Structure 1
């Protein structure tokens, strides 16, 4: 990974994290949305935070390996970002949490752009982990 690719990954992951933390702050004023966010965050509050962080990390690496790795390689150029983002969003939406599906769409588009721009899987993994671990450790204190 080039220094530029790492820079894109870190800035992209942090930018998306800041956007969602700000959104989380606003969600607490909307009871309907706040309920679903609390339901999602309750999964992280139960049990060991270390195990949850490890699971989050392994899951992020696995998702990027599949969507921006294996699936990416079999798709035609020009459709990769759209198809992998839609597939990732649809699978995530099966959890039944609208805001999580929105997050998947935003994250999928970002890491798809990173994959196309850098031609490397590593920036996708870095951005995904920055975003998801920020959501795990920071978002609960904001919402």
Structure 2
């Protein structure tokens, strides 16, 4: 009997380990190459949409918070990312592969990753408050949440989060192919957020773009990065503004 218990505990441990997802360093096996006509269409569409979306994002953030122009332009930006992505060609949902080789649709792990990313950004917020340039930049962005109509702010935030994943970790990632798609999609995402001329958004774009790109590579589709992005955005929208309501830290 005494020898049976360690064996059973070892079996439970091995089973639990097998249920763990593969890490972000994992890359799903490459799919069969797309037809050349699909590749050309995707790359043309991605190029046009990237320029148009970046321009619209910059203009939307130069409008007044809670104005019809702001809501109209931000929703139009989301529509540009989403419609351009769908027009570029097929996109893949993706799977999470566990250590035992089983595949499951990614839900729990991406949501937990979004919560973890939010925690890291909250810690970073206390640092940003001590850096005058970042403190001022974050406060400029949070004006749109603080002064806006709550349901519309939530709608535009989540719509843009989902649409950005369709484009940057969907259409653009596919268009890049095997030529460093995580790096290229992250650089493009960071450059797009930099069009807002706000350093805090560019920094957040670089950090989240890297994380979401690695998720895309590890799962082979857009579901995991989209759920992470939406979870992170919702938590940031709800809990970050109170951290910057108090007077600046000197």
TM-score, structure 1 as length reference: 0.92
Q: Which residue of 2 aligns with 1:88?
A: 189
What is the CA-CA distance between 1:134 and the residue it aligns to?
1.4
Matched residues in 2 for 1:69 and 1:87: separation? 13
Larger radius of gyration: 2
Larger mean Cα displacement after TM superposition, 24-33 or 107-116 = 24-33
Instruction: Describe the shift of the 1:34–1:48 C-alpha distance in structure 2 as closer, same or farther (beyond 3 A).
Output: same
Instruction: Detail structure 1 runs of 4+ shifted over 6 Å in the superposition.
Output: none
What is the CA-CA distance between 1:142 and the residue it aligns to?
1.5
SS at match of 2:177: coil
Root-mean-square deviation over aligned CA pairs = 1.6
Match of residue 123, structure 2, among 22, 36, 43? 22
Contact 1:90/1:101 (<8 A) preserved: yes
Q: Structure 2 stretches of 5 or more lacking a match?
A: 1-94, 97-103, 245-250
What is the CA-CA distance between 1:80 and the residue it aligns to?
0.7
1:12 counterpart = 2:113: yes
Q: Which residue of 2 aligns with 1:116?
A: 217
> Hey, which of these two has a bigger chunk of helix by percent?
1
Q: Which one scores higher on RCO, CA 8 angstroms, separation ≥ 6?
A: 1
Tell me the number of residue pairs that the alignment of Structure 1 and Structure 2 aligns. Answer: 143
Matched residues in 1 for 2:163 and 2:239: separation? 22
Larger mean Cα displacement after TM superposition, 9-18 or 95-104 = 9-18
Matched residues in 1 for 2:133 and 2:212: separation? 29
Q: Which residue of 2 aligns with 1:55?
A: 156
1:64 counterpart = 2:165: yes
Matched residues in 1 for 2:105 and 2:179: separation? 23
Q: Which residue of 1 aligns with 2:13?
A: none
What is the CA-CA distance between 1:8 and the residue it aligns to?
3.2
Matched residues in 1 for 2:207 and 2:105: separation? 21
